[in-house]
Structure 1
Amino acid sequence: MKLVVDANIPAAEHCFGAFGEVMTCPGREVGAAHLRDADALIIRSVTPVSAALLADSPVRFVGTCTIGTDHVDTHYLAEHGIAFASAPGCNADAVVDYVLASLLTLGERGGWTLLNRRVGIVGVGNVGGRLQTRLQALGVEVWACDPPRAEREGEAGFASLDTLIERCDVLCLHTPLVSTGKHATRHLLDAQRISALAPGTLVLNAGRGDCIDGLALRRRLTGQNDITAVLDVWESEPAIDAALHDLAALATPHIAGYSLDGKLRGSLMIHQALAAHLGQTSELTLEAICPPPALASLTLQQALPEEEALRLCTRAVYEVRRDHESLTREAHALGVAHGFDRCRAQYPLRREFSTLCVHLKGEAQPLAPVLRAAGFDVVAG
């Protein structure tokens, strides 16, 4: 059996070598020629999978080690009897870490307090739902917009996007990309809604780039400069809008979910799906392929303001400003498209909040509830 695997998928040999020969290839370079004698294709979000790629191949299994599936023509796969698997939820906690790190960073920069913000979450699935849980545990007021869920579950607990725009200080987008139909999300935040944003609003998109009208957002930022944008996903990746990049308070190259833990969960989930497809059993575990974190623990002993403690612990694990600075540096050196892909391909090792054990002693012990709510492993006493 031959498997073609995106070169950016970690533990590829460990997860897929037992099934046969593994050939790795950069995700954007995977073409029909690579698949002429391949039985399986394992990808991430940068590889479009359609008839053009698979028509003349013997591939019978496609797996994407990502939450999103809009890069895969699942109808074509189903029509041609090609098995498909994705990894829903694999990196959801990493994206939530990214959101909290971004909000804490910009709160410090702007002199405002996250715990006093009113946050609107658009798309309350794997990522948005976990973000809602953590924010509410922190005591943040959260408004949720998810029309498909509201339709299935009832309106209680949900509000319209326009209501969120009217009432929230922060707007976080975590929707899949749906191009057509009643719940289409392409340009969900369109020119009219961008114009309606109140001065001071912070817009954060870590879902899909096409869910925001980038040109309209650039015009608002250029013309009025009275809102803030945090963008991890973009239209036309990797050839993103250079002017919009320069206007964003934090601009990162689609890496919100790029924790090692999340990537390895995705690899393991597709390993398990392929094993099931082949009628095999697997005993491979995340612990077997995931190394211990470089910084496993942190001790706090002094009383600190809650947000200062949150920032300290967050930066012990993940510093979002480094990703912003890396993209800016590479984009200026290589151009935005090559810089974008280089940042992704050479992304440094990053772990999730849950891998840090925070020991609280003495006057720091009252910080336990807020640090646990943020996702850290806390030991008090």
Structure 2
Amino acid sequence: MNEAQASERLIVNCLPLTDEERAAFRAAAPGVRQEFAGNPMERGTMVWKARVPADLRGAATAVVGNIPPEDCSGYPRLEWLQTWSAGVDRYVAPGVLAEGVTVTNATGAYGQTVGEHLFAMMWALMRNIPAYARQQDERRWHDLGRALTPAGATVLVIGTGDIGSHFATLCKAVGARTVGVRRDRTKPADGIDEMHGFDELDALLPEADVVALAVPASPQTDHLIDAKRLHLLKSTCVLLNAGRGNAVDPLALAAALAEDQLHGAGLDVTEPEPLPASSPLWDEPHCLITPHVAGGNHLEATERRIIAIALENVRRYAAGEPLVNVRR
């Protein structure tokens, strides 16, 4: 990029950065104007807000932050949007952004936090901890019987990107055998012992002791786990979902749990969200539900990774190099 082109660009950065981090962003894009709109007081909170002053929207050629999708039409010069989320469905939907706007996300930042959450849910269900917690509320002292262990278990990971890979690595560390399912079975992933395609899913499900889903929303993954596939699972299987809620049919799952078709289910995402109070899943003692909190900014390490991804892309944008994590 020549000096004239650089001077015409404006990056509005909504990350809640420290003074030192803002200096690093300035150094990464010499000659490119940058305005910092993030509130440092939001660091360490669960919610970051992208507040772009009205006078900057018309001039911004790049924005770092999850601006409201309904406001995107107010950025006539926008070339590039860097989100701090991994999901960008709201921005790549037809008509939200102008044609030609590049969208990049924070894939790579959330693997640790979501993977650890899945791992914690898995082990809690194996040891019957949710059911014991309900007993504690009732002041009951009762042995719930046989527990399970990940040692020697077959863990089927459906979706072996950053999240699935982190979860699989944790499972292998405690003695599990890991089997992955992804669109391209020839592509390996850390923590996965053997890889398969989606066309093999029905043959793999009956052998799994744990099934963990970390798939994005798509027509192909809608109700990927339905009544038919729930019937394929062992009665001792643990089902986990921390990808997209619509990957599991909630009514079929409730029926399967009520009939003891599987040992338990751990859900950080549901269909719909929030899960309605009328859902029978709330009353199921073998279902552990968390309110979509596996990701977000619950770990400081996640915040650091989001900032590092954005910093590298700002450097690349200023230098005219290909961006990373391109989703459109």
Pairs within 5 Å for 1:107-118: 107-109=126-128, 111-118=147-154
Whole-angstrom CA distance in 2 between matches of 1:36 and 1:91: 29
Partner of 1:97: 116
User: What is residue 188 of structure 1 aligned with on the other side?
Assistant: 224
Q: Which portions of structure 1, spanning 4 or more consecutive aligned residues, are displaced by more than 4 angstroms?
A: 12-18, 23-38, 74-79, 223-226
Matches of 1:12 and 1:119 in 2, distance apart? 41
**Structure 1 CA distance for aligned equivalents of residues 248 and 51 of structure 2:** 28
Q: Unpaired runs of 5+ in structure 1?
A: 282-381
Tell me, what secondary structure is at the counterpart of 2:218? coil
Question: How is 1:140-155 mapped onto 2 (pairs within 5 angstroms)?
Answer: 140-146=176-182, 148-150=183-185
Deviation string 1:41-70 (CA, Å, 9 cap, x unpaired) is 4345xx774xx4422323333111233333
One-letter amino acid matched to 1:42: V
Farther off after superposition, 30-39 or 250-259: 30-39
Q: Which amino acid aligns with 2:37?
A: V
User: Over aligned residues, Cα RMSD in angstroms?
Assistant: 3.6
Residue 162 of structure 1 deviates from its aligned partner by: 1.2
CA distance in 2: counterparts of 1:235 and 1:33, whole angstroms: 36
Does residue 73 in structure 1 map to residue 92 in structure 2? yes
Determine which of 256, 264, 276 is the counterpart of 2:294. Answer: 256
CA deviation after TM superposition for structure 1 residue 209, in Å: 1.3
Does the CA contact (< 8 Å) of 2:155 and 2:179 recur in 1?
A: yes
Change (3 A) 1:10 1:57: closer
Partner residue, 1:170 = 210
Secondary structure in 2 matching 1:278:
helix
Asked if structure 1 preserves the Cα contact closer than 8 Å seen for 2:107 and 2:162, the reply is: yes
The separation in 1 between residues aligned to 2:11 and 2:250, in whole angstroms, is 40
Q: Name the aligned partner's letter for residue 299 of structure 2.
A: S
Amino acid at match of 2:318: L
- Counterpart of 2:319 in 1: which secondary structure? coil
Is 1:55 aligned with 2:70? no
Percent identical across equivalent pairs? Answer: 25
Instruction: Tell me the distance in 2 between the aligned counterparts of 1:217 and 1:170.
Output: 15
Alignment of 1:42 onto 2:42 = no
CA deviation after TM superposition for structure 1 residue 224, in Å: 4.5
Contact 2:83/2:105 (8 A) holds in 1: yes
Instruction: Give the paired residue count.
Output: 266
How far does residue 117 in structure 1 lie from its aligned partner after superposition?
2.1
Equivalent residues of 1:48, 1:72 under 8 A apart: no
Over 3 Å counting, the alpha-carbon distance change for 1:245 and 1:10 in structure 2 is farther
Higher relative contact order (CA 8 A, sep 6+): 2
2:120 & 2:49 partners in 1: Cα distance?
29
In structure 2, list runs of 5 or more residues that go unmatched: 1-9, 27-33, 129-145, 189-193, 322-328
Q: Distance in 1 between matches of 2:162 and 2:94?
A: 23
1:21 correspondence with 2:36: yes
- Rounded to whole Å, the distance in 2 between the matches of 1:222 and 1:27 is 39
Which residue matches 1:268?
Answer: 308
Aligned partners of 1:231 and 1:250 also within 8 Å? yes
- Match for residue 165 of structure 2 among 123, 129, 134: 129
2:208–2:233 CA contact under 8 A, matched in 1: no
Shift of 1:185: 1.2
TM-score, scaled relative to structure 1:
0.59
- Asked if the contact 2:106–2:309 (Cα under 8 Å) also holds between the matched residues in 1, the reply is yes
Cα distance in 2 between the residues matched to 1:101 and 1:186: 25
Query: Which residue type is aligned with residue 21 of structure 1?
Result: F
Distance 1:161 1:81, change over 3 A: same
Q: Distance in 2 between matches of 1:34 and 1:230?
A: 46
**CA distance 1:134–1:41, shift in 2 (3 Å):** same
- CA distance in 1 between counterparts of 2:227 and 2:48 reads 33
- Return the TM-score normalized by structure 2: 0.67
CA contact 2:156–2:180 (8 Å) conserved in 1: yes
Q: Does the 8 Å contact 1:4/1:34 carry over to 2? A: no
Contact 1:32 1:56 in 2 (8 A): no
How has the CA–CA distance of structure 1 residues 2 and 132 changed in structure 2, closer, same or farther, with 3 Å as cutoff?
Answer: closer
